[in-house]
Amino acid sequence: MRAQRFTQSTIDFYRYRLTAFIAWGNAHRANTLADITPTLLRSYLVHLQDRELADYSQHAAARAIRAFLNFCVREELLPLSPMQKVKMPKVDKRILPALSVADVKKLVKACKSERDKAIVLFLLDTGVRAAEFVKLNIADMDTDSGEIRVKQGKGRKDRPVYLGAKALRQLTRYLSRRKQRKSIDPLFISEYQQERLTKSGLNQLLRRIGKRAGVTECKPHTFRRTFALWSLRAGMNIYVLQRLMGHKDITVLRQYLALVDEDARQAHESFGPVDNNL
């Protein structure tokens, strides 16, 4: 995987899930590739269900195993993949919650520092992933245009994202009070160690802000979903949104269109000309 220049997060994804599968297989006398049969694979997937893992966790495990077995076929270690005879676990089609305008206002009010407020507005206005957010340096920001250059995002692709006037003003206010302001310095740092903010640190920070604000769903990806939904509701072209969010296609974004369609239905119920005037 390193030879194919996969990102570390992708490598970690496969390592974690395949290690768990191999350990389970060894405990069930499956010690070689030849021991991996469709029956064994189905038993493992049932084992994951019995552990009451979330459906997407079960699906992720199956994807990792499928990719590994396909690799073994390509390398001629197996004649064909036993996963071909196994159905992938189903994932419920659901739209995870996004933040409301009232939620965001409460979160901003609950921020205790200029940095925290800048983080909340930055995540909401750009929709970047947590891993992309913590890698940003001051040099990646253009204070004149509000453009932020996300380097080596998911799939090792660079892309621009943008801050509006309010979010940019708050970010500039935060940076003006910092001692570390060289172009090579991290865009966001921890307030105590004065080092680059980590994904773990970001999650903990948002959890604290959410608790003070009384907003239960306050994670980096919640802001990403909110960015997508609010952008579509405001009329953004879905293909433009795809590029801003760094998706390879619009498959993921289609689920948000369902919510936007529901907005239209409710608006028609409230303002339809026949029902409201005749």
Query: Residue 156 belongs to what domain range?
Result: 101-264
Q: Based on the fold, state whether residues 51 and 153 are members of the same structural domain.
A: no
Percentages of the chain per state (helix, strand, coil), in multiples of 5: 60, 5, 35
Q: Is residue 135 part of a domain?
A: yes
Rounded CA gap, 110 and 212, in Å? 6
Q: Is residue 40 part of a domain?
A: yes
Q: Is residue 18 part of a domain?
A: yes
Q: What is the pLDDT of residue 63?
A: 93
Q: Based on the fold, state whether residues 80 and 105 are members of the same structural domain.
A: no
**H or E, element range at 239:** helix 238-245
Rounded CA gap, 36 and 22, in Å? 10
Q: Based on the fold, state whether residues 232 and 130 are members of the same structural domain.
A: yes
Residue with structure tokens 């390193």? 2
Q: What is the pLDDT of residue 95?
A: 65
Show which of 27, 59, 85 is a domain's final residue: 85
Q: Based on the fold, state whether residues 216 and 171 are members of the same structural domain.
A: yes
Q: Based on the fold, state whether residues 106 and 220 are members of the same structural domain.
A: yes
Question: What are all long-range contacts of 210-214, with beta carbons under 8 Å and residues at least 24 apart?
Answer: 210/107, 210/110, 212/110, 213/103, 213/106, 213/107, 213/109, 213/110, 214/106
Contacts of 120 (CB under 8 A, 6+ apart): 104, 107, 108, 111, 209, 223
Q: Is residue 22 part of a domain?
A: yes
Q: Is residue 276 part of a domain?
A: no
- The number of distinct structural domains making up the chain is 2
Show which of 53, 85, 117 is a domain's final residue: 85
Q: 147-150 and 159-162: which strand pairing? A: antiparallel
Rounded CA gap, 217 and 219, in Å? 6
Q: Is residue 183 part of a domain?
A: yes
- Residue 14's alpha-carbon distances to 8, 36, 62, 87, 226, in angstroms, are 10, 17, 10, 19, 28
Q: Based on the fold, state whether residues 72 and 105 are members of the same structural domain.
A: no
Q: Based on the fold, state whether residues 27 and 51 are members of the same structural domain.
A: yes
Q: Is residue 165 part of a domain?
A: yes
Q: Is residue 94 part of a domain?
A: no
Q: Based on the fold, state whether residues 51 and 152 are members of the same structural domain.
A: no
Q: For residue 238, what is the domain's CATH number? A: 1.10.443.10
Q: What is the pLDDT of residue 12?
A: 85
Q: Based on the fold, state whether residues 132 and 161 are members of the same structural domain.
A: yes
pLDDT tens-digit profile, the chain (278 residues): 555 556 777 788 889 999 999 999 999 999 999 999 999 999 999 999 999 888 889 999 999 999 999 999 999 999 999 999 999 998 776 667 789 999 999 999 999 999 999 999 999 999 999 999 999 999 999 988 999 999 876 656 789 999 999 999 999 999 999 987 889 999 999 988 889 999 999 999 999 999 999 999 999 999 999 999 899 888 888 899 999 999 888 877 877 776 676 666 666 666 566 666 65
Q: Based on the fold, state whether residues 136 and 227 are members of the same structural domain.
A: yes
Q: Based on the fold, state whether residues 129 and 241 are members of the same structural domain.
A: yes
Rounded CA gap, 88 and 61, in Å? 10
Q: Based on the fold, state whether residues 114 and 233 are members of the same structural domain.
A: yes
Q: What is the pLDDT of residue 278?
A: 56
Q: For residue 74, what is the domain's CATH number? A: 1.10.150
Contact 62, 13 (CB under 8 A): no
